[in-house]
Amino acid sequence: IKSIADGLDIGPGVVAGRWQFETKNYTKFNALRRQLPADLFADLA
pLDDT value of position 29: 78
pLDDT value of position 30: 73
Q: Return the SS3 of 1.
A: coil
Give per-residue pLDDT as tens, 1-45: 889 999 999 998 899 889 999 999 988 877 767 776 677 677 776
d(CA 31, CA 45): 30
CB environment 16-42: b (16+ within 10 A), e (fewer): beeeeeeeeeeeebeeeeeeeeeeeee
pLDDT value of position 40: 66
d(CA 32, CA 45): 29
Q: Give residue limits of the domains in the chain.
A: 1-28
